[in-house]
Amino acid sequence: MKMPYCSKCTIGEDRNPSHAITSRQRLARVVVGLGWLTLMWVFLRVPVRVIAWPTSLIAGWFGASHVVAAWIAYPDCPELGAIASVLIRRYIPTRCGPWLALDRWLEPRS
């Protein structure tokens, strides 16, 4: 069976996060989330409502999901699984290329 791109079904499984994230990685998610929330505010100032609302909703989702990911130490793709993991009270594994690379860079050197 072909595995879906973003996530795989884990219903009935007791899955834990793929890896733990450090406080630096959590801080990076908060900073990115606050950046997206700032963009949401900027997009709401666009005078054309047809453009302002959809772009601000997308930026707001990205911002909120990154802040939630930092709050719960969600290691995977924040916009796909962080809020869903909180709502259903179960870890939802997702794939996230950009955060994997950034997390490797932010890991402490030993």
What residues make up the domain containing 47?
A: 23-102
Residue 16 belongs to a domain: no
The answer to the question of residue 4 being in a domain is no
Residue type, 61: W
pTM check: above 0.85? no
Q: Is residue 7, in this structure, part of any structural domain at all?
A: no
User: Into how many domains does the chain fold?
Assistant: 1
**Distance, CA of 31 to CA of 81 (rounded, Å):** 18
pLDDT at 1: 46
Query: Do the domain assignments include residue 51?
Result: yes
SS3 call for 41: helix
110 located within any domain? no
pLDDT in tens, the chain (110 residues): 444 545 555 555 556 666 778 888 899 999 999 999 999 999 999 999 999 999 999 999 999 999 999 999 888 888 888 898 899 888 888 877 777 777 778 777 65
Nearest of 98, 92, 106, 96 to residue 26 by alpha carbon: 106
Does residue 1 belong to any structural domain of this protein? no
Residues 32, 47: Cα–Cα separation, whole Å: 25
